[in-house]
Structure 1
Amino acid sequence: METKTKDLLIIFTKNPETGKVKTRLAKDVGDEAALEIYKFLLKHTISVTKDLDVQKEVWFSEGIEEDQLWDSSVYSKKLQKGKDLGARMQYAFEEGFENGFRNIIIIGSDMYDLETSDLENAFILLKNKEYVIGPAADGGYYLLGMRTLEPNIFQNKEWGTSTVLHETLNDLKGKNIALTDLRNDVDLFTDIKDHEDFQKFLKK
Structure 2
Amino acid sequence: MDKSKHLLLIFTRNPELGKCKTRLAAKVGDQTALDIYKFLLSHTVNITSELDVTKWVFYSNEIWEKDIWANGTYQKKLQNGTDLGQRMLNAFQEGFESDYEKIVIIGSDMYDLSQVDLESAFSQLNQHDYVVGPAEDGGYYLLGMTALNKELFQDKQWGTETVLEDTLAHFEQEKVSMLPVKNDVDHYEDIKDIKAFQPFLKHMKE
- Mark yes or no: TM-score above 0.5: yes
Matched residue SS, 1:90: helix
- Partner in structure 2 of residue 163 of structure 1: 162
Tell me the alpha carbon deviations over residues 14-73 of structure 1, each in whole angstroms, 9 at most, x when there is no partner: 111111111111111000000000000000000000000000010001000112310000
Q: Measure the CA separation in 1 of the matches of 2:193 and 2:148.
A: 39
Q: Does the CA contact (< 8 Å) of 2:3 and 2:52 recur in 1? A: no
Q: How many residues align?
A: 202
Unaligned runs of 5+ in 2: none
Matched residue SS, 1:171: coil
1:67 counterpart = 2:66: yes
Q: Measure the CA separation in 2 of the matches of 1:200 and 1:66.
A: 29
Q: Measure the CA separation in 2 of the matches of 1:68 and 1:160.
A: 27
Instruction: Kindly state the Cα deviation for residue 194 of structure 1 after the two structures are TM-superposed.
Output: 1.2
- Partner in structure 2 of residue 30 of structure 1: 29
Unaligned runs of 5+ in 1: none
Q: Measure the CA separation in 2 of the matches of 1:157 and 1:20.
A: 23
Matched residue SS, 1:83: coil
Question: After the TM superposition, which parts of structure 1 deviate over 4 Å for at least 4 consecutive aligned residues?
Answer: none
The TM-score, its normalising length taken from structure 2, stands at 0.96
Matched residue SS, 1:20: coil
Tell me the alpha carbon deviations over residues 140-197 of structure 1, each in whole angstroms, 9 at most, x when there is no partner: 0000001011101101111111000000000123211111111100111001111111
Tell me the alpha carbon deviations over residues 91-143 of structure 1, each in whole angstroms, 9 at most, x when there is no partner: 00000001010000000000000000000000000111111000001000000
- Partner in structure 1 of residue 102 of structure 2: 103
Q: Measure the CA separation in 2 of the matches of 1:180 and 1:4.
A: 21
- Partner in structure 2 of residue 187 of structure 1: 186
Question: What root-mean-square deviation, in Å, do the aligned CA atoms of Structure 1 and Structure 2 show?
Answer: 1.1
- Partner in structure 2 of residue 122 of structure 1: 121
- The residue type paired with residue 175 of structure 1 is E
Q: Percent identity over the alignment? A: 55
